[in-house]
Structure 1
Amino acid sequence: MKFRSIALAGALALCAAQAQAQDLTVGVTTTGVPFTFVDTGTQAPTGAMVDLAAAIAEDLEMTPNFAVTQFSALIPALQTSKIDVISAGMFATDKRKEVVDFSSPVYSYGDAAFVAADDEGTYQIEDFAGEVIGAQIGTTFADQLQARGIFEEVKLYDSLVDIMRDVQLGRIKAGFGDKPIIAYQIAQNPNLGVKLVEGYTPMGIGEVALAVSKDNPELLDKVNAAIAEMEQSGELAEIFGKYGL
């Protein structure tokens, strides 16, 4: 009986130690290249925000458990405690701040302009006045460009790849889209025949941050502390730099 008591005590101690190493359930999406997406080789979530969440979990001595979720369902999943944190390419907008708490910003970006790889010009948006340019249909960038009314035509495309093709072929002068996505695609495929316009000032800037439930301020404090430490050490920049950001 004494042996069994000792064995039971040991088992309980092991369970307690395992319980302390809690899971951190992280909501991610599959369509936020290069922030969050699924690696076609491993079928596992990957991307800058996935790496960041894993690093934060390690700092908190927790185990990251990634829950692939549709973007529109991320905040409801957080509110219903299905996930502990959102780590995706999500802007910390005023409307979202009404229902969730955001961490310190981890990345900021806006739109980018790209031209043919052999175009040596330096441009701001006004320099494309009178030109035919391209943007993806349904994006805020397309609406903003059309509202300016200074271009010969704002040609709308179904995909960024199609815009890049027409820029490379000289059918349009320039294309516009999400800077991180464009930068990542160019970095992954230098033979696309296009390049980012250096020094271009975007039409607007959004800040990407992690989100936690308003009922969990303790976790928010821990996440912010981890982000601050990684920012100071340079690890934050290294994580995003890995994906061309």
Structure 2
Amino acid sequence: MKRTMTLFIALAIALSMITTAFAGNLTVATDTNFPPFEFKDPKTGEHTGFDVEIWAAIAKEIGVQYDLQPMAFKGIVPGLQSAQLDAGIAGMSITDKRKEVIDFSDGYYDSGLLLLVKSDDETIKDIKTLDGKVVATKQGTTSVEFLKENANPKEVKLFPNDNAMFMELLTGGVDAVMFDKPVVESFVSKRGKDEVKIVGDLYAGQPYGIGFPKGSELVAKVNAALKTLKANGTYGTLYKKWFGVDPR
């Protein structure tokens, strides 16, 4: 009886430790550089952005603490798949392929892909005119597969972050960049102003979702929190702060 009671107490303690760790020490991945969604503030050295702040609001709403883990985008899905991460919020498009290996929250931002060229380029009008051209995009993103399936460029150059691919365009190392709408638009209005232009349509419109390991209990809680944040105006306030317009 004493041995059984000892085992029971040990099991109870172990379960308590697991529950406490889950409730109070989530590891949440985000991209290292994907403005305005996530990036390091040069003044404070802290990561900030729409994703970072919307997750902070979600965590507060559902009552969890977490450690933010900036990392290369290409490592986030594998990290969720292996359950080394509890969640990932990094401007991640909800795709059927990704849904095979991880779970997603409801969409929290509607995006798509845009094609960017130098302002004096008259040869590229859309993805149909990428034949023989060199196109840059970011490793591990949906734009890689989209280019392979819908265009015929001479080469697709892959970069670890968007700063590198944009610089490659400005210096003439590539003919075009294809990447997510908010990032491209932000670059056009700031660093690339008067030097680059968007051509073609908005391609592959997809919502961004928060990723989780398969079967995670956090999905339902996060979806409920998102609905609350939209209803009480928190979501709209953060959206306007980072994108300059009200959510549609």
> C-alpha separation between the residues in 2 aligned to 1:81 and 1:140?
25
Question: Matched residue of 1:226: which SS?
Answer: helix
- Matched residue, 1:46: 48
Note closer, same or farther for the CA distance 1:187–1:64 as it changes in structure 2 (3 Å cut).
Answer: farther
Distance apart, 1:237 and its partner CA: 4.1
Deviations 1:142-180 (A, max 9, x none): 546643xxxxx98977822343577xxxxx8x8654322
Distance apart, 1:81 and its partner CA: 4.1
1:1-245 matches, within 5 Å, as 22-114=24-116, 125=126, 135-136=135-136, 139-140=144-145, 142-143=147-148, 146-147=151-152, 159-163=165-169, 176-189=178-191, 191-196=193-198, 201-217=201-217, 219-244=218-243
Note closer, same or farther for the CA distance 1:216–1:129 as it changes in structure 2 (3 Å cut).
Answer: closer
Distance apart, 1:209 and its partner CA: 0.4
Is 1:106–1:207's contact at 8 Å kept on the other side of the alignment?
yes
Deviations 1:4-24 (A, max 9, x none): xxxxxxxxxxxxxxx697243
Note closer, same or farther for the CA distance 1:131–1:75 as it changes in structure 2 (3 Å cut).
Answer: closer
> C-alpha separation between the residues in 2 aligned to 1:144 and 1:216?
32
Is 1:24–1:64's contact at 8 Å kept on the other side of the alignment?
yes
Is 1:135–1:177's contact at 8 Å kept on the other side of the alignment?
no
Note closer, same or farther for the CA distance 1:201–1:66 as it changes in structure 2 (3 Å cut).
Answer: same
> C-alpha separation between the residues in 1 aligned to 2:130 and 2:98?
38
Is 2:92–2:210's contact at 8 Å kept on the other side of the alignment?
yes
Note closer, same or farther for the CA distance 1:231–1:133 as it changes in structure 2 (3 Å cut).
Answer: farther
Question: Matched residue of 2:53: which SS?
Answer: helix
Distance apart, 1:76 and its partner CA: 3.7
Unpaired runs of at least 5, structure 1: 1-18, 119-123, 148-152, 167-171
Deviations 1:67-117 (A, max 9, x none): 223333323433444332111122222222122211001112222245777
Is 1:141–1:176's contact at 8 Å kept on the other side of the alignment?
no
Question: Matched residue of 1:216: which SS?
Answer: coil
Note closer, same or farther for the CA distance 1:131–1:96 as it changes in structure 2 (3 Å cut).
Answer: closer
Distance apart, 1:61 and its partner CA: 2.2
Question: Matched residue of 1:231: which SS?
Answer: helix
Question: Matched residue of 1:110: which SS?
Answer: strand
Equivalent pairs counted in the alignment come to: 211
In structure 2, give the amino acid aligned to 1:227.
Answer: L
Deviations 1:188-232 (A, max 9, x none): 4374444546xx632312221001222323x21110011112233
Distance apart, 1:55 and its partner CA: 0.9
- The structure with the largest alpha-carbon Rg is 1
Unpaired runs of at least 5, structure 2: 1-19, 159-164
The two structures have a TM-score, normalised by structure 1, of: 0.65
Note closer, same or farther for the CA distance 1:155–1:241 as it changes in structure 2 (3 Å cut).
Answer: farther
Question: Matched residue of 2:27: which SS?
Answer: strand
**Percent identity at matched positions?**
27
> C-alpha separation between the residues in 2 aligned to 1:129 and 1:81?
42
